[in-house]
Structure 1
Amino acid sequence: MPVKQIATEFGHSLPPEAPHNITFHIPGWDTAKALRRGDPDLLSRLASIYPRFGPWCEVRQLATLLHPLLSLPPTHSLLLYTHPSIFAATARYATSPHRAPEHRIPPAALLFRVLDIPLTLPLPSEPAGDDAAHHGGAPVRLYAVAYPTDRAPGAVGVWSNLGVGISSRLAAALVPAVERGDVRVVEWEGDGEAVRGLEVGVGEEEGEGKGKGTVPGTGHLPLGEAHGALRRRIAGLVGTRGGQVREGDVFLYPTGMAAVYRLHQALVEVRRGGTVVVLGSVFHNSWHLFKEGVGGMKHFGRCDAESGVMEALVEWLAGERAAGRKVGYVFAEFPSNPILVSVDLRRLREVADKHDVPVVIDETIGSFCNIDVSAVADVIITSITKSFSGYANVMGGSVVLPPSSRHYNAIKSTLAAQFRNEYFHADAARLLANSADYLARSAILNRNALALATFLHKHSQLPTSPITAVLYPPFTNTHSNYLAMMRRGYGCLLAIEFRTLALARAFYNSLSVYQGPHLGAHHTLAFPFNDAIWGADAEAAAYLATYGARAEQVRVSVGLEDEAELLETFEAALAVAGRAMGEDGNEKEGREG
């Protein structure tokens, strides 16, 4: 039976194509690497994009409309946010020694503006019943960052790594007012010199700034019924091993990275700084955030069953205590993206308690319904953009505080004090609608992923197979660690490791599934994650390989397709890789030709 071919046009989203979709189909291994480089020809062909990559569609349209109203030079571009702390955060990031010299932005070249725009609701593309009634006619206050376009990475990195930029739905709700001239530009201007060092916006709640060093204050984005309903749904899904989570224990943010960032800010205050300890493979934006944090990062790469990571952690923590140095918290993904290692959380809990260090677990890959880490985590972070949403058309992040944690009161009070809602209620309403079938979808994702992983694992046992390993919890040496937290299944994500990079490329370039970043969607997505993200940095790529994240791996997020169709599709691509191995003697021996 012929393998079904992908009919979606290059650069367009997974079907059904609609406003606010967050995926894009970019077939080919080299295309994935070009995306990471920011290749302008490739970017010009994208009709859709993952929102944290940069302003797109409605957000770009809004920025273009606002630019001439803000007394900005034509050499500058705009980024739009809803929280006043973004000015200080941008100044720190753009001037940091971590930036390449050609991307570093002089403080005086960063220009900051504040403006108020009323919402126009409801949005025609969104669920009804959660719109203008919840904002009372009050305008939305935006914080605009203008930066030299020729040094874009020095500012756009803030948008990508912190994840707090405005959403496409919020932009769509603001564009009509701007088009009819209903914009109030606050009589305040600032630059990077004036605001460096400010942690939060200050000034009168609805008044003007008193000078260049004072950022006008803000209310927050309006809360809708969907916010409360989402928090209750998440609270009901989180396991009860760590006590019954309530609505007030759940905090919502515009993206998963925004949840990581805002929690990090809170923990820096609670812990008065300190080094962030990172275990294993973590999402690259989290890596950059921790590495550039005030206390820096200590990374333990290998976390497999033979790594001895817990003994190494105990020794390091004892050394830090003896030296009088602060440790902020421990962060780990469970299981890790993209190599699916499950760290020993029970042992980690024992070690953390002995040294009185909070443990933060990002359970995005496992997901609420599949694992319960509430008894071993002080904080649970989830990108609810992924399988919780499931339809790749809205972003969101959550922070959950298990009440059994010894750090519960300190973290909750600080998070609550710092919290300003940045999550637009139309996004919350969409996510609430999407997640209504979360459990039913997850059952299919679990079943399909396990079937595919089992098929691939069996294939890898053949002496003629181009596959050397299938990275999925049952087929790793940390399976028992996963089982200790398991509720329903293993999730939708797996990775396939090949003998050589050439074989991985042959497989990927012939694989008839959607190709691009993202996971947890309704359609299967593949991506050469490690080579695309880190391949251009030889030193970083070599370091990742030391703990199992190799360029020869293809990450696969399994979707809701028919199981037999999935297996046929992957079998056909394996046949191409097998022929490539058979046609080249070097490949037969497992070497790059």
Structure 2
Amino acid sequence: MIRESPSQVVGEAVPNIDHAVSVSLPTWEATVGYEEGEDWVVSKMSSGYPRFFFHPIIQTLSQRVEEKFGRSKEKCMIYPSYDIAKRCRAFIQEKAPQKTPVRLLQLSTPEPKSEAEKSSVIATTIGVVFFPTSVASLAKNYWQHAGEGISSRLAEYLLKTLFDESSSGQHSIKFNPVDLGASKSELQAKKIQALSPSLSVRKPRKDENMQESDIHIEQKYGRVLDLKFGDAAKTALRKRITGGLAEHVQQSTDTPLNYEDVYLFSTGMAAIFNAHRALLNSQEPRMSVCFGFPYVDTLNILKKFGPGVHFLGMGDDKALEELEENLENGSYNIMGLFCECPSNPLLKTPNLKKIRQLADKFKFAIVVDDTVANIINVNVMPFADIVVTSLTKIFSGDSNVMGGSLFLNPNSPMYSSLKQFFDKDYEDTFWVQDALVMERNSRDYAVRSKKVNETSLAIVDFLQKSPLISKVYHPSVSESKKYYDEIKTPNGGYGGLISFLFHDANDAVSFFNSMDFHKGPSLGTNFTLACPYTILAHYQELDEVEKWDVDRNLIRISVGIEDKDDIVEVIKFSLDETTKTHKL
């Protein structure tokens, strides 16, 4: 991969395409400015991580819906199903002052009228939540934590289908006045003003082979998304995920893995959220344990939905002893334990074998998030009841689509009850266009993963030799490496996420600002991506997270598939520049 010049423009989409997942925050100061809500950063934001930032296309759709159906001092959020909208309403009403009015609207797009239309027209139903502006922050909490909001591609389709009088025919909205609190006369379909959102496409770079056929270019960059292949793409994804794990499962003694036990979601966080919902609804609701310091919204889900959480943030052997003691003496009566293997951003791996023994003894479920390592590098299935993965990351790589998966272990003692829940409750809300893009992106993820593994080891070695750096975090050099090695696949590696600290906090700022990488949220991208992680993810609780060894000056790098020497050279240059600054 030829390394593209990283964006140094504050607020620019990364990559600079319509449906980008990340955004450029090229300096430490820009990241702080974003967290502080400073206008010089926020006013320039054309993109952002989708659960934290409303994509401009989603903003436009929301405005159209509010103009058409909203009331005074109301805002709305749009979800890919009515049931999800009901969950959002319940969350707002539970947290908001009593008698806060929250309304729901259900809208549907038309069925294709012919066989030919099946390539570009698909029937879908959405749920709209209307709420007073006074509780907008609560509504945004649900959007962020649960990860169940509509994608930018679905919003684009809805804008064209529901709000555009195009040459292909005038489409009227089908109204389903469920729980709207309005009369039928208020819900009669009306023609809506024409809106013609343009569909732009990422152009090939100059360094790419311009002799490719037009058809190949369209297929590669996503302009042609034949909707009638959506179901096939989803099946291919489920089989690809299954195959990645099945290769390492002892088929002679275990029930074979089946792709029908894989459930797709619109985001990785939605997979975690629905794993939690499954535990709450398939047994008596009890508290959970969050073992190890996780990505921020995993803990938020366990805190804000259901009976609550015991947080064992260190995630080490001592924490495991504390867990066992509390289970033995009855202080903990839990329904599930959630952990990451390895954790983000400290790259710790828990002792899954011991946790599995405790789970079998005390009858609780284990939910493992293997996103950071990915299913090529680790096999956590023998120890987990549920495996969740953010497909947005290295599985996709291109940073242009969100997605998540949830895999039920058929050998779990809880399999029957969990399967029964999903058979009854699961909704496939993974938008077909997103599935088509995800399927294309992930075809070579195993090859990309291997390259990232090799490059990352070289970077870890280089960073450890720098006298400026005080600590490097990576599964290959972690104190918990022995537990990672127990779940590492025969041909697997240690993944591409690396965190590190400087002896001097000022050096961290200098180094970060001089790095010629893309800088912003997310990980697992095909291009190397860096961020001052704690500032970005925990700015409002810097003192609190330091109790769990998450230093406020931590820098995190997600290694891409560029040439290894090029990546090392960028880091070397930044260290050299930092050394010069340090001597001044």
| Fold match by TM threshold 0.5 | yes
Mapped to 2, the partners of 1:390 and 1:531 lie a distance apart of 24
State whether residues 445 and 558 of structure 1, in contact with CA within 8 Å, keep that contact through their aligned partners in structure 2.
yes
Instruction: Give the match's secondary structure for 1:395.
Output: coil
Distance 1:121 1:466 in 2: 65
Deviation at 1:477, TM superposition (A): 0.6
Counterpart in 1 of 2:10?
10
Partner residue, 2:571: 570
Q: Distance in 1 between matches of 2:39 and 2:390?
A: 28
Q: Given the alignment, which residue of 164, 181, 199 partners 1:179?
A: 164
User: SS in structure 1 opposite 2:465?
Assistant: helix
Q: 1:168 and 1:311, CA in 2 relative to 1: closer, same or farther beyond 3 A?
A: same
Query: Who is 2:224 aligned against?
Result: none
Identity over aligned residues, as a percent?
Answer: 27
Note the 1:117-516 alignment, pairs <5 A. Answer: 117-118=109-110, 133=118, 139-149=123-133, 151-177=135-161, 178-180=163-165, 182-190=172-180, 224-238=231-245, 239-241=248-250, 243-304=255-316, 307-320=317-330, 326-459=333-466, 465-487=467-489, 488-516=492-520
Maintained 8 Å contact 1:524/1:561:
yes
Offset at residue 533 of structure 1 (A): 2.1
Partner letter of residue 78 of structure 1? C
Q: Distance in 1 between matches of 2:378 and 2:548?
A: 24
The 2-side partners of 1:370 and 1:132 are apart by: 42
Deviation of 1:169 (Å): 1.2
Distance 1:251 1:117, change over 3 A: same
CA deviations on 1:27-63 (whole Å, 9 max, x unpaired) are: 1112213333444542331222221113212222222
Once the two structures are superposed, what CA deviation does each residue of 1:86-140 show, in whole Å capped at 9, x if it has no partner? 344334433555xxxxxx5664343322222237899xxxxxx9x96389x6632
* Partner AA of 2:153 in structure 1: R
Contact 1:105/1:151, CA 8 A, preserved across alignment: no
2: CA distance between counterparts of 1:12 and 1:409? 47
The offset of 1:9, in angstroms, is 3.5
Is contact 1:335-1:363 (8 Å) kept?
yes
Contact 2:396 2:438 (8 Å CA) reproduced:
yes
Corresponding residue of 1:205: none
Report the number of matched residues: 524
Q: Is the 8 A contact 1:277 1:298 kept in 2?
A: yes
CA distance in 1, matches of 2:291, 2:179: 42
**TM-aligned CA deviation for residue 521 of structure 1:** 0.5
Separation in 2, partners of 1:556, 1:107: 46
Equivalent position SS for 2:31: helix
1:78 to 76, 79, 85: 76
CA distance in 2, matches of 1:105, 1:359: 35
Which range is displaced more, 56-65 or 481-490?
56-65
Aligned partner of 2:550: which letter? A
* Residue matched to 2:207: none
1:325-350 superposed Cα distances (whole Å, 9 cap, x missing partner): 64110110000000100111111111
Structure 1: tracts of 5 or more residues without a match: 98-103, 123-128, 195-220, 460-464, 584-593
Tell me: CA distance 1:113–1:227, structure 2 relative to 1, closer, same or farther (3 Å): same
CA distance in 2, matches of 1:288, 1:96: 16
Contact kept, 8 Å, 2:112 with 2:123, in 1: the verdict is no
Change (3 A) 1:470 1:120: farther
Asked whether the 8 Å contact 1:499–1:552 carries over to 2, the reply is no
Residue 214 of structure 2 aligns with which residue?
none
8 Å CA contact 1:352, 1:358 repeated in 2: yes
C-alpha distance in 1, partners of 2:261/2:179?
37
8 Å Cα contact 2:8/2:26 also seen in 1: no
Q: CA deviation at 1:503?
A: 2.1
2:194 corresponds to: none
1:119–1:173 Cα contact (<8 Å) kept: no
Q: Which amino acid aligns with 1:233?
A: R
Aligned twin of 1:24: 23
1:468-517: CA deviation from partner (whole Å, max 9, x where unpaired): 11000111111111111112111111101122432211211111111100
Please name the residue that 2:557 is paired with.
556
Give secondary structure in 2 for the equivalent of 1:51: coil
Q: Is the contact made by 1:335 and 1:342 (CA closer than 8 Å) also made in structure 2?
A: yes
Which secondary structure state, in structure 2, belongs to the residue aligned with residue 484 of structure 1?
helix
Deviation at 1:409, TM superposition (A): 1.5
Give the root-mean-square deviation of aligned CA atoms. Answer: 2.6
Gaps of 5+ in 2: 166-170, 183-227
Is the CA contact 2:74–2:132 (under 8 Å) kept in the aligned structure 1?
yes
- Write the distance in 1 (CA, Å) between the matches of 2:575 and 2:283: 50
Report the AA paired with residue 172 of structure 1: E
Deviations for 1:374-403, whole angstroms, at most 9, x for unmatched residues?
111111000011000010011100011122
